[in-house]
Structure 1
């Protein structure tokens, strides 16, 4: 079975993961997370959000990650073909506020940073810094 492609749109200081372009938020909820790989975080948030709201007819998830003072500002939601259900924002907020999910997202997005030697940690921290610097590149779409 062939899966439709996901678009990864990069702007200065932000990354947006969406199925359809242009990305549109008919419903949106925000949360803050510690600094981590924005692409990995966006994929994990999208996956958990979809599991929670997949029964919503015409829903297409969108996750936007922006750099903030203390880490990452996550905007999760998406476009809805038709009427937006009144409980949709609450369902998405429940996903973003679930502490076990938040810890898993950050752990997954930082998993390359091991507890090994100081040199390994420095190298992994540099990789994470470079990944965060990718925010500042132009827009691209994944195949």
Structure 2
């Protein structure tokens, strides 16, 4: 289903937010997060990932959030229409997903309320 130009695919215990379908991860980094609302977390990560990587021409972000035991496993990255410096982009994205300030803001926005 597309919502505001974004495809949101919900599967068993997972949610994928992508600009283009089918989903493709030419660039991919993973991180573990505590329980939160998947869609809100995905949007927050996608926004900051786009700000970080918007100079990669032809880049289309993808964020997948899936349940992993008591936590959430986030796979962030996306599709690249052109060649790009993959190792550098993955290092930047890994630093973003590891940044304590960003993580705190994302989780504050996506924290669960009333068991949702």
Q: TM-score, normalised by structure 1?
A: 0.75
**Is residue 65 of structure 2 the alignment partner of residue 89 of structure 1?**
no
Partner of 1:79: 79
Q: Distance in 2 between matches of 1:103 and 1:70?
A: 18
Aligned counterparts of 1:59 and 1:108: Cα–Cα separation in 2: 25
The residue number in structure 2 matching 1:32 is: 32
Distance 1:89 1:69 in 2: 25
- Max radius of gyration: which structure? 1
Give the number of equivalent residue pairs.
Answer: 112
CA-to-partner distance for each residue in 1:112-131, whole Å, 9 max, x for gaps?
63xxxxxxxxxx12xx1xxx
Q: Could you say what secondary structure the match of 1:36 adopts?
A: coil
Q: Report the TM-score when normalising by structure 2.
A: 0.91
Q: Partner residue of 1:103? A: 104
Displacement after TM superposition at 1:69 (Å): 1.4
Q: Which runs of 5+ in 1 are unaligned?
A: 114-123, 129-143
If asked which structure has higher relative contact order (CA below 8 Å, sep 6+), I would say 1
Task: Flag the structure with higher helix content.
Answer: 1
8 Å Cα contact 1:27-1:84 kept in structure 2: no
Per-residue deviation, 1:105: 0.8
Within 2, Cα distance between the matches of 1:83 and 1:25? 13
The structure richer in strand per residue is 2
**Mapped partners of 2:90, 2:57: distance in 1:** 14
Are residues 1:18 and 2:8 paired?
no
Residue-by-residue CA offset, 1:44-84 (whole Å, 9 max, x unaligned): 00001011111111110000000011310000000000213
Structure 1 runs of 4+ off > 6 angstroms? none
